[in-house]
Copies of this chain bind each other. A is one copy, B any other.
Amino acid sequence: MNNQGVQVEIISIGDEILIGQIIDTNSAWMAVELNKAGFEIVQITSVHDNARQIVESLNLALQRADIVIFTGGIGPTKDDITKQTLCNYFNTQLIFNQQTYNDIEQLLKHRKLVINELTLQQAWVPENCTIIRNPVGTAPIMWFERNAKIIVSMPGVPYEMKNAMSNEVIPRLQKNFYTPTLIHKTVQVYGFPESALAIKIAEWENALPENIHLAYLPNYGIVKLRLSGNSDDSPALEFSINQQIAGLTEILGNAIISFEDVSVEILVGNLLKSYGKMIATAESCTGGNIAHKITSVAGSSEYFKGSVVAYSNEVKANILKVSADDLETFGAVSKEVVEQMASGVRKLLKTDVSIATSGIAGPSGGTDEKPVGTVWIAVCSEDELISCEFRFGGLREQIIERTTQAALLMLKDLIAH
């Protein structure tokens, strides 16, 4: 970590985070967006809806950071105490804000609701703060300044937080601080365990310039190598990072599956688009997850026609026309069945290429011969049909995710080889 930049600390507030009832995805989203805008996140802290803890974490954060961003704890209900706590912290009082009242009235009208006593309280705000309007929720954003530092209190509802961050908070922060250029570039490598990769590129890694930092991020069979730098001379830094990546490419060749930090479903989507190919999936153990991943990408209707989730053998036989004999003889988790699923769905939905999966995601259903984690994947085009058996570790969720990732990568190879 380089301490030259403008430092931000994110404090997420809510008992529900600390009992694990919700996962703090807000902080990760903010970190990405703040980074892009040239800010560095020094720490992320999650605390209870508790005045003492909120104040303590704010005091510590102000020692480390130039900017402190709170998220959560400003809803209309009794358990949310952040506004009152900040009001006490800044020795100020709540005053009625007509603009906020009008905004809330407008928002509720649109939803055919009226202001009640709780939403009314959202229009009372600390006297010393600047109010940033929240067009998509009832809690306004509070912006405080003290000793050249900035403290912002944001809603915890992700949609409201994201809207305000992108449109108001980040642009205002950029006006208040000079931000040096942070550059992150990611190279995705497939087919090496993390330590084997580290040895293969050790010489290259040891020769990296001091201002470029390397991190290894393993993710279901892929290792992302992230090169980061922080410089006031942005073109020179970018040139230097690109030069390092060129060196890496010489060492790793085809093991590099992408020079961008994008998901496999986006990589595959882009390939399908550029080759003008339509895809369908036939899914047993992945239960629709491959289709879900593909369609999570905006514009996927350009290359995705549909899927048959064939969870029962009856669907495999009746809809995908898998031979009932083969299902009986080899079992659903077999080369024979998965290949027929792939070619079956390709014919049925009239696509150029297809993916099929059949496996045992567990926790039950495993045998000595085919333990939990045994998965067959097939990919199919007009003139090729490739299948492969995998033994994945992990629990149900991991097996489904690993199968999804491996299947998309097999399809990538089928199209691009």
Residue A207 interfacial (CB < 8 Å): no
Does A74 make an interface contact (CB < 8 A)?
no
Q: Which of B27, B50, B199, B305 lies in contact with A118, CB distance below 8 A? A: B199
Q: Is A45's CB within 8 Å of the partner chain B?
A: yes
A159 contacts the other chain (Cβ, under 8 Å)?
Answer: yes
This chain: copies in complex: 2
Chain B residues with CB below 8 A from A350, complex form? 314
Which stretch in A125-133, A143-151, A396-404, A405-413 binds the other chain?
A: A396-404
Those of A3-27 within 8 Å (CB) of chain B: 15-25, 27
Query: Given the interface contacts A1-B15, A20-B32, does A308 sit within 8 Å of B305 by beta carbon?
Result: no
Q: In the complex, A49 Cα to B158 Cα: how many Å?
A: 27
Alpha-carbon gap, A69 to B314, bound state (A): 49
Please indicate the chain B residues that have their CB under 8 angstroms from the CB of A395 in the complex.
Answer: 159, 162
> Which B residues are CB-close (under 8 A) to A165?
none
**A294 interfacial by beta-carbon distance below 8 Å:** yes
CA distance A348 to B315 in the complex (A): 9
Interface 1/0 per residue, A302-322 and B, CB below 8 Å: 001111111110110001000
Chain B residues near A138 (CB-CB < 8 A): 195
Instruction: Say yes or no: A301 contacts B306, CB within 8 Å.
Output: no
Give the distance in Å from the alpha carbon of A117 to the alpha carbon of B203 in the complex. 14
Is A287 close to B, CB under 8 A? yes
A184 at the interface (CB under 8 A from B): yes
| Segment 271-321 of A: residues with Cβ below 8 Å from B | 281, 283, 286-292, 294-296, 298-301, 304-312, 314-315, 319
Complex Cα distance, B404 from A4, in Å, reads 45
Question: CB distance A75 to B194 under 8 Å?
Answer: yes
Given contacts A1-B48, A309-B307, A314-B305, contact A215 B400 (CB under 8 A): no
- The interface residues of chain B lying within 8 Å CB-to-CB of A168 are none
Pairwise interchain contact A305-B296, C-beta atoms closer than 8 A: no
Answer yes or no: A417 CB below 8 A from chain B CBs. Answer: no
- CA distance in complex: A296, B20 (Å): 20
- The answer to whether A170 has its CB under 8 Å from any CB of chain B is no
Stretch touching chain B among A76-84, A235-243, A244-252: A76-84
For A199, list chain B residues within 8 Å (CB).
116-118
List residues of chain B with CB within 8 A of the CB of A27. Answer: 20, 24, 46
Interface: A96 (CB within 8 A): no
Determine whether A95 belongs to the interface, using a CB cutoff of 8 Å to chain B.
no
| Partner among B79, B288, B290, B319 whose Cβ is within 8 Å of the Cβ of A214 | B79
Apart from A75-B194, A159-B394, A288-B292, list 17 A-B contacts with CB within 8 A: A17-B44, A18-B31, A18-B44, A19-B35, A21-B261, A24-B28, A45-B45, A60-B60, A75-B218, A78-B198, A78-B205, A79-B213, A283-B288, A283-B291, A288-B291, A301-B312, A307-B308
9 contacts between A and B (CB under 8 A): A1-B49, A22-B28, A23-B23, A45-B45, A162-B395, A289-B295, A291-B309, A292-B292, A298-B362
